[in-house]
Chains A and B, each alone.
Chain A
């Protein structure tokens, strides 16, 4: 199946990042999060849990987490994704697009992390990359370790690139960013199920902002 791709509009920029930008820009919005709260609750009995954040770097999130006793590992995989240039050949030429470069593997010991925060990283990956990342996450997650991911389901008006800031355990700010567009993919439910077939689903919920929050847990042994 050909995944739907979305190129965010160039006007999706924030005044915070680009104060000289005159066009109308979306402002940050606050949304509830059920699964982050659940993840934090499930880790509450573990002394100094190791948490890996693969999303866009957010200093306040790191501070928020370390103040609550986490050891936080930061490996921003969203910023390193390159915007995809438009194909130089027309679709009628019949030439196949080159496959995307494989993702750099997650260079961590097996069964190391109690939890991994992916935010919406998967939305920016093609199927093969997403499968590779899913397998890599399963490798470095401890048995019963937790894994949080978001998926956009808004076909009509998908969000621009976002940074997620933790305001409270149950509340996130979605900050639109002034960035070059990276194609954003919209998954089918079946694809998400397949992606996490090696995990147990703790909770998968669909928010009013048309984001799906998925919290899964690695299997023991």
Chain B
């Protein structure tokens, strides 16, 4: 059985959050969240300003940022998301707040997109060097 880490209500994090276990966030996170192999839950007190990339993402709190999931994104009734969703499966409850776009991405598409993003990031210093 996998472990689930919890970031409690009084915790505030700024920066990049990565890991190899399931995570529940009930605190505040600003930055980037990468849990590619694991499930992420944003609790009812969670307040996130970050782009999220995880296996599944369940939102019952507040998120501002783009959400990418390999399997599923779910916004429950109390959830609030301002940002774009890319996932093979999306479930949005009536009563939830959502403003953004939804695109159904297959796993292979997401992998390609990620590779493309990584290549762009890798090549950025060279471009800057070329400019200078």
Contact = CB atoms under 8 A, between A and B. Distances in A.
A203 interface: no
Contacts of A48: 103
Contacts of A58: 94
Interface in A61-75: 62-63, 66-67, 69, 71-75
Contacts of A74: 98-102
Interface string B90-105: 1111101111111110
Interface in B56-106: 75, 90-94, 96-104
Interface of A: 48, 57-59, 62-63, 66-67, 69, 71-76, 79, 163
16 contacts: A57-B92, A57-B94, A57-B97, A59-B75, A59-B91, A62-B90, A62-B92, A71-B101, A72-B103, A73-B100, A74-B98, A74-B99, A74-B100, A74-B101, A75-B99, A79-B97
Contacts, number: 46
Interface of B: 75, 90-94, 96-104
A63 B92 CA distance: 8
Nearest to A56: B94
Contacts of A73: 100-102
A71 B86 CA distance: 10
B91 A66 contact: no
Contacts of B104: 66-67, 69
Most buried by B among A48, A57, A75, A163: A57
Nearest to A50: B101
B62 to A, nearest CB: 16
Nearest to A58: B94
A62 B87 CA distance: 13
A95 B35 CA distance: 59
A145 to B, nearest CB: 16
Given A57-B94, A63-B92, A163-B94, 4 more contacts: A62-B102, A72-B103, A74-B98, A76-B98
A52 to B, nearest CB: 9
Question: What are the 8 A-B residue pairs with the smallest beta carbon separation, nearest first?
Answer: A59-B92, A66-B104, A73-B101, A72-B102, A71-B103, A74-B98, A66-B102, A62-B102
Contact of B96 (A57, A69, A72): A57
A79 B97 CA distance: 9
A131 to B, nearest CB: 24
Most buried by B among A69, A71, A79, A163: A71
Contacts of B90: 59, 62-63, 66
Contacts of A72: 101-103
A163 B101 CA distance: 20
A184 B98 CA distance: 24
Contacts of A69: 104
Nearest to B105: A66
Contacts of B93: 59
A71 B102 contact: yes
B22 to A, nearest CB: 24
A29 B75 CA distance: 26
